[in-house]
């Protein structure tokens, strides 16, 4: 569904992303891991069409994504790391606005809002101002805003930062439901246990390059465990990317 081919992006002498390739199929969640500054967000930004790559292509359903108004962008939904919501508007008015950006209107928009709010468990709070929501509720609404136009591909950039275990668990349930519906999910996070639970494949990037692309068990099998036990993903990650601080 989503294919990333040899993406490269540099800012002056700094090469942020260097020849990154991977693909995500329908019903699959790909975990994109990497230390801070590894190039995860730049990669997601290129896939979302926010940044034009210096080289390489983003293929959506086999066709390359081109330009701001490419209709193929309708197949992509972005759930940004920031809580990209208007606090002074109600949940419903936020979703009305974001839905209209995808030319949804009238009954179709109302149906999409009801479905998205229902999925994230906020149907009973639709008329409340976002500023009255807890952090976890805002995160769930942030997810709903990315789902409104029913995209085939969902880009999730650290979608569980700062939420309580209950909200995080609810978001996981939502993502598993989306996988069952056949959506292709690209998921970046620093929480290894999330990837262990959700990801079908894991891509690790560092210094802008892909250094591993495998399943969880495939990655674990690269390192010998103690007394026959499998190593954790975090141990694999630290082995691949090193223990030096990146900030």
Which residues between 84 and 113 bind other proteins (CB under 8 A)?
Answer: 84-86, 88-89, 93, 96-98, 100-105
Compute the least distance from the CB of residue 208 to other proteins, in Å. 13
User: At a CB cut-off of 8 Å and minimum separation 6, what does 211 contact?
Assistant: 204, 205, 240, 241
- Whether the CB-CB separation of 9 and 17 falls below 8 Å is answered with yes
Compute the least distance from the CB of residue 101 to other proteins, in Å. 4
Q: Which helix (H) or strand (E) holds 41?
A: helix 40-48
Integer Rg of the chain from CA: 18
Q: For residue 241, what are its two tokens? A: 């990317």
Residue 128 or 234 with smaller CB distance to other proteins: 128
Going residue by residue from 42 to 81, which x/- string records binding to other proteins, judged by CB under 8 A? x--x--xxxxx---------------xxxx-xx-xxx-xx
Compute the least distance from the CB of residue 69 to other proteins, in Å. 5
Going residue by residue from 6 to 25, which x/- string records binding to other proteins, judged by CB under 8 A? -----x----x---------
- 134 φ, ψ (degrees, to nearest 5): -75, 170
Listed in order, strand segments (DSSP E) in 106-236 are 153-157, 184-188, 201-206, 209-214
Residue 71 Cα to chain centre, angstroms:
20
Q: For residue 37, what are its two tokens? A: 């500054």
Which residues between 121 and 150 bind other proteins (CB under 8 A)?
Answer: 145-146
Residue 31 Cα to chain centre, angstroms:
8
User: How many residues sit in the footprint of other proteins (CB under 8 A)?
Assistant: 40
Compute the least distance from the CB of residue 80 to other proteins, in Å. 5
Which of 41, 167, 188, 189: binder of other proteins (CB under 8 A)? Answer: 41
Which residues here bind other proteins, judged by CB under 8 A?
11, 16, 41-42, 45, 48-52, 68-71, 73-74, 76-78, 80-86, 88-89, 93, 96-98, 100-105, 145-146
């Amino acid at each position: 569904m989503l294919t990333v081919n040899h993406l490269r992006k540099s800012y002056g002498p700094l090469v942020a992303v260097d020849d990154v390739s991977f693909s995500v199929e329908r019903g699959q969640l790909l975990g994109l891991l990497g230390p801070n500054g590894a190039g995860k967000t730049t990669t997601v930004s290129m896939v979302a069409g926010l940044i034009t790559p210096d080289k390489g292509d983003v293929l959506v359903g086999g066709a390359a994504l081109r330009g701001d108004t490419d209709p193929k962008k309708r197949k992509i939904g972005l759930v940004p790391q920031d809580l990209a919501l208007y606090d002074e508007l109600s949940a419903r008015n936020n979703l009305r606005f974001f839905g209209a950006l995808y030319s949804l209107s009238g009954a179709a928009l109302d149906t999409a809002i009801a479905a998205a709010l229902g999925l994230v468990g906020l149907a009973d709070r639709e008329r409340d101002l976002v500023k009255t929501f807890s952090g976890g509720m805002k995160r769930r609404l942030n997810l709903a805003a990315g789902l409104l136009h029913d995209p085939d591909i969902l880009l999730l950039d650290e979608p569980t930062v700062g939420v309580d275990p209950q909200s995080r668990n609810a978001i996981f349930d939502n993502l598993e439901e989306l996988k069952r519906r056949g959506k292709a999910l690209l998921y970046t996070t620093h929480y290894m246990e999330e990837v262990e639970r959700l990801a079908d494949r894991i891509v690790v990037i560092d210094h802008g390059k892909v250094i591993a692309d495998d399943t969880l068990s495939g990655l674990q099998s690269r390192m010998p465990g103690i007394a026959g036990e499998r190593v954790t993903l975090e141990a694999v990650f630290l082995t691949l990317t090193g223990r030096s601080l990146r900030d």
